[in-house]
């Protein structure tokens, strides 16, 4: 009996110790005691997305960045990577709850409002901005999704991937068109001119089944027509502008027939593959990351990027904005629990300086958010349209409800795909689905704090 | 789990015996003796002083791994926990059963439950004869039996992610299945969107899970004694009579276990629909795990989705409860388990 009790206690203690040590994993090696700006002996933990397209370059970039950081501050730099947005959210959740984890997170632009809503990121003060080189060193439009307004910024713009339209120069020229379209109407007409289904050539490649892409069209159409999808606490989705936006988007397939009918099953990467095989003239809503695929494709000498259309017919009614793209790319946020804020600012200064940003572009293709660095790329091949778009990118609404709204907008397309495939999305079905989207967006906005 | 009918000390014995599973447990009988705590009969000593403390490490792990998260999950289901309150989640507003009410009245969970249960039951019903037939077909020795048995297991050993990815590729609008059907003059419509998705889900589930039934049915067949086959042959039973009245009764145990576990696996299957159809899900296959996932990780309504998870826990606990009751009854009637 006595032995039993002792052993019981011992095993409880062991198990408890095991459990505790398991929970303790994931602390950064940072020294908790405060100290000088000099970071000798400290480690800064940075959490960034894993690059599947450029794994070697990314490793090289991490090593180089860490070496420079060590030279500048004396501190070590440790990178952790995540492979999906979900990975990252889980990490933010657990770190936010436990108050320990990475010091810096790379945040996708449209994910930034959600991440900020968790309260896991501290607002950046003026002195913080000065420490990392001042707000003025950034492309000003890139700051648009760093916080809800100019005076409340939580994240530092790091890289930019504006959305553009890839087009096939040869096919366009063959149809007697000398420059890419600048309005949605022109796009439709040009696409019709090139369209030749009997030869398997279509006007556009569109990924209707993509889980992200569709909402960007709807957002752009609405902004250009002066209709904000989110107005304070109100969702503004069930209206004629949005309905027209969906009708135009679906109409390319059902009415204009300038899209391959198979595209109801395509994600964006399949649509890109279709465009890369020379079977269409336009691939709208893509980014510079498609360059990797296109440069290896049969049309590597025939493609270029242009601005997405910025209006329906040349003007933006109701005070609409000629948006070419959402603000897309990566921000970096400093965790509010960090004990290495000085180091974090030093790191952000280092990676957003001109030369580092130019180097990053050369490795990964993402555009700089540093104004001076950005200016050097306008003349590089394929870059004119892209840098142009970087200046004409606008922020999506900065609300914690945005993830839900995005999902609701895409859901309209997902549920319409069977109709789309049969050749007609009826007005009643569409308005029913838009109503559903409106409700779920409103529900989410009403909860927003 | 245990029927707490008598609070006598031997309840604990019965409980521990039951917890040891279906091994040949000696039926715990009081034997007329009443082993009072501290009383010193030899039999009482050996049974009462069994080293139960050895269960502690496992017990502690179970508490840490299962009980604590479960209790937390239930607690969270009473909180209004979302991305705004996540950081100080313990002080998230307590909203009682509001999450459950919202889940039932607004989230479409009832429809999801219906989809989950019906798809799961359909898949189970179809896999049952397939699995049994395959087991019977590979029971007797013939050249190449080992190969056939291995081939049968392929769907089962493939990870769900791989299965779903391959089928998704084949079911695409320009995929091999649509094209084949098209050449045969059939226009099936879309497989990965719209009403067909439900049947695609059932079909792929059947494809990937019938070998499980096969495995358990095979193990049941293996336990049939040689004498039984002989006796049946001597009595002149033909194959169907033999199968129906001699062999099948042996399969009842393993098969009912297979049905139960199969059902639960299907109801809990998230990988398959998620990889096949992506997010947002077509309405026709918004099964319960899907809805819970989207609520949690797309809409960040952690409280609400914890409520949904509790609902699905209750849902899977019902058949589990019935099964455990059934197993225990069997155990008590025939000590040592059914042969």
Q: Are residues A186 and A263 in the same domain?
A: yes
Q: Are residues A66 and A99 in the same domain?
A: yes
Find the CB nearest A8 among B53, B174, B294.
Answer: B53
Q: Are residues A152 and A204 in the same domain?
A: no
Question: Which of A354, A378, A394 represents a domain boundary (last residue)?
Answer: A394
Contact B84 A209 (CB under 8 A): no
339 residues of chain B, pLDDT tens digit each: 333 333 333 333 333 444 443 444 444 444 444 444 444 445 555 666 778 888 999 999 999 999 999 999 999 999 998 888 887 777 888 998 999 999 988 888 999 999 999 999 999 999 999 999 999 888 888 899 999 999 999 999 999 999 999 999 999 888 899 889 989 988 888 899 888 999 999 999 999 999 999 999 999 988 888 888 888 888 888 888 888 888 888 888 889 889 988 998 999 999 999 999 988 889 999 999 999 998 988 888 999 999 999 988 988 888 888 888 877 655 544 444 444
Residue B36 lies in a domain: no
Measured from the Cβ of residue B1, the count of other Cβ atoms closer than 10 Å reads: 10
pLDDT at A288 > cutoff 70: yes
Q: Are residues A314 and A433 in the same domain?
A: yes
Residue A24 lies in a domain: no
- Which of B295, B324, B252 minimizes the C-alpha distance to B103? B295
Residue A34 lies in a domain: no
d(CA B258, CA B253): 9
Q: ipTM more than 0.85?
A: no
Domain limits for position A263: 164-325+399-447
Residue A13 lies in a domain: no
Contact A264 B282 (CB under 8 A): no
Res B45: pLDDT: 52
Question: Which of A394, A423, A438 represents a domain boundary (last residue)?
Answer: A394
Q: Are residues A72 and A129 in the same domain?
A: yes
Res B48: pLDDT: 67
Q: Number of folded domains in chain A?
A: 2
Q: Are residues A148 and A184 in the same domain?
A: no
Q: What is the DSSP string of A102-113?
A: -SEEEEEGGGHH
Give chain A positions within 8 Å (CB) of B52: 4
Residue A171 lies in a domain: yes
Residue A23 lies in a domain: no
The tens digit of pLDDT for each residue in A27-70 reads 333 333 333 457 788 999 999 998 888 889 899 999 999 999 99
Residue B329 lies in a domain: yes
Q: Are residues A74 and A197 in the same domain?
A: no
Give chain B positions within 8 Å (CB) of A271: none
Burial readout B127-163 (b: 16 or more C-beta within 10 A, e: otherwise) = bbebbbebbbebeeeeeeeeeebeebeebeeeebeeb
Contact A118 B173 (CB under 8 A): no
Q: Are residues A257 and A244 in the same domain?
A: yes
Residue A12 lies in a domain: no
Q: Number of folded domains in chain B?
A: 1
- Asked if the C-beta of A8 comes within 8 angstroms of chain B's C-beta atoms, the answer is yes
Q: Are residues A216 and A294 in the same domain?
A: yes
Question: CATH no. for residue B309?
Answer: 1.10.3720.10
User: Number of A:B CB contacts under 8 A?
Assistant: 105
Searching chain A, which residue's CA lies closest to the CA of residue B297? A86
Residue A390 lies in a domain: yes
Residue B6 lies in a domain: no
Measured from the Cβ of residue A69, the count of other Cβ atoms closer than 10 Å reads: 21
Residue B59 lies in a domain: no
Q: Are residues A188 and A131 in the same domain?
A: no
Residue B43 lies in a domain: no
Question: Which of A366, A394, A422 represents a domain boundary (last residue)?
Answer: A394
- From residue B77, how far is each of A138, A299, B132 by CA, in Å? 44, 54, 41
Q: Are residues A272 and A289 in the same domain?
A: yes
Residue B228 lies in a domain: yes
Searching chain A, which residue's CA lies closest to the CA of residue B48? A1
- Which of A354, A355, A362, A352 minimizes the C-alpha distance to A383? A362
Give chain B positions within 8 Å (CB) of A417: 190, 193-194, 282
Q: What distance lies between CA B61 and its chain's CA centroid?
A: 22
State the residue for tokens 């913080």: A128
Domain limits for position B215: 102-333
d(CA A242, CA B39): 82
Q: Closest Cα of chain B to A52: distance in Å?
A: 19
Residue B241 lies in a domain: yes
Question: CATH no. for residue A316?
Answer: 3.40.190.10
Q: Round the average pLDDT of chain A to a whole number and report it.
A: 88
Residue A9 lies in a domain: no
Q: Are residues A321 and A341 in the same domain?
A: no
Give chain A positions within 8 Å (CB) of B51: 4
Q: Closest Cα of chain B to A412: distance in Å?
A: 9
Residue B93 lies in a domain: no
């Amino acid at each position: 009996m006595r032995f039993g009790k002792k052993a019981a206690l011992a095993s409880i203690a062991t198990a408890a110790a095991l459990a505790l040590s398991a929970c303790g994993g994931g602390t950064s090696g940072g020294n908790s005691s405060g100290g000088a700006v000099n970071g000798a002996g400290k480690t800064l933990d940075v959490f960034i997305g894993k690059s599947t397209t450029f794994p070697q370059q990314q490793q090289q970039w991490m090593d180089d960045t860490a070496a420079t950081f060590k030279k500048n501050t004396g501190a070590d730099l440790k990178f952790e990577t995540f492979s999906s947005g979900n990975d990252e959210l889980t990490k933010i959740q657990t770190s936010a709850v436990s108050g320990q984890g990475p010091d810096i997170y790379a945040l996708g632009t449209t994910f930034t409002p959600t991440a900020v809503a968790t309260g896991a990121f501290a607002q950046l003060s003026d002195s913080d901005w000065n420490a990392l080189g001042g707000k003025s060193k950034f492309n000003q439009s890139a700051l648009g999704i760093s916080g809800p307004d100019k005076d409340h910024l939580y994240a530092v713009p790091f890289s930019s991937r504006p959305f553009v339209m890839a087009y096939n120069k040869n096919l366009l020229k063959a149809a007697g068109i000398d420059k890419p379209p600048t309005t949605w109407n022109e796009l439709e007409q040009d696409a019709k001119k090139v369209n030749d289904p009997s030869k398997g050539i279509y006007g556009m490649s569109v990924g209707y089944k993509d889980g992200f892409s569709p909402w960007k069209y709807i957002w752009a159409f609405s902004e250009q027509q002066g209709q904000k999808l989110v107005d304070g606490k109100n969702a503004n989705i069930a209206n004629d502008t949005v309905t027209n936006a969906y009708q135009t988007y679906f109409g390319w397939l059902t009415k204009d027939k300038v899209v391959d009918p198979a595209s109801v099953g395509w994600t964006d990467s399949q649509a890109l593959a279709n465009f890369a095989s020379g079977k269409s003239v336009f691939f709208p809503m893509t980014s510079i990351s498609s360059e990797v695929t296109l440069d290896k494709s049969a049309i590597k000498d025939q493609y270029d990027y242009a601005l997405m259309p910025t209006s329906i017919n040349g003007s933006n009614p109701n005070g609409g904005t000629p948006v070419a793209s959402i603000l897309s790319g990566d921000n970096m946020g400093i965790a509010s629990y960090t004990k290495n804020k000085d180091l974090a600012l030093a790191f952000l200064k280092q990676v957003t300086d001109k030369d580092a940003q130019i180097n990053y572009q050369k490795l990964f293709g993402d555009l700089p958010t540093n104004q001076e660095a950005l200016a050097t790329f306008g003349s590089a091949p394929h870059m004119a349209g892209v840098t142009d778009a970087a200046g004409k990118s606008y922020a999506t609404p900065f609300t914690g409800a945005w993830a839900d709204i995005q999902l609701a907008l895409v859901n309209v397309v997902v549920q319409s795909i069977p109709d789309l495939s049969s050749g007609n999305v009826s007005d009643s079905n569409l308005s029913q689905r838009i109503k559903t989207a409106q409700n779920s967006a409103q529900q989410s906005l009403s909860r927003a704090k | 789990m245990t029927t707490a009918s008598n609070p006598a000390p031997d309840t604990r014995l019965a409980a521990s015996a039951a917890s040891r599973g279906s091994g040949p447990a000696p039926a715990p009988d009081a034997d007329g003796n009443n082993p009072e705590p501290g009383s010193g009969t030899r039999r009482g000593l050996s049974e009462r002083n069994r080293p139960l403390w050895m269960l502690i490490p496992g017990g502690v792990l179970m508490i840490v791994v299962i009980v604590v998260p479960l209790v937390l999950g239930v607690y969270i289901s009473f909180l209004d926990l979302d991305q705004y309150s996540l950081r100080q989640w313990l002080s998230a507003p307590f909203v009682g059963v509001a999450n459950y009410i919202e889940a039932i009245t607004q989230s479409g969970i009832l429809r999801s439950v219906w989809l989950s249960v019906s798809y799961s039951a359909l898949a189970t019903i179809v896999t049952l004869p397939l699995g049994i037939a395959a087991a019977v077909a590979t029971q007797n020795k013939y050249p190449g039996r080992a190969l056939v048995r291995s081939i049968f297991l392929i769907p089962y050993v493939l990870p769900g992610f791989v299965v779903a990815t391959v089928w998704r590729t084949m079911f695409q609008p320009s995929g091999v299945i649509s094209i084949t059907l098209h050449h045969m003059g059939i226009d099936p419509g879309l497989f990965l969107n719209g009403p067909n998705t439900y049947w695609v889900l059932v079909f792929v589930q059947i494809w990937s899970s019938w070998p499980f039934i096969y495995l358990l049915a095979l193990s049941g067949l293996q336990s049939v004694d040689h004498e039984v086959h002989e006796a049946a042959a001597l009595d002149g039973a033909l194959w169907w009579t033999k199968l129906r009245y001699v062999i099948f009764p042996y399969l009842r145990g393993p098969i009912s276990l297979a049905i139960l576990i199969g059902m639960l696996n299907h109801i809990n299957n998230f990988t398959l629909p998620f990889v096949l159809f992506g997010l947002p899900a077509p309405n026709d296959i918004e099964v319960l795990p899907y809805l819970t996932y989207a609520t949690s990780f797309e809409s960040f309504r952690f409280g609400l989705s914890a409520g949904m998870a509790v609902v699905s826990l209750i849902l899977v606990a019902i058949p589990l409860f019935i099964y455990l009751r059934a197993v225990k009854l069997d155990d008590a009637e025939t000590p040592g388990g059914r042969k």
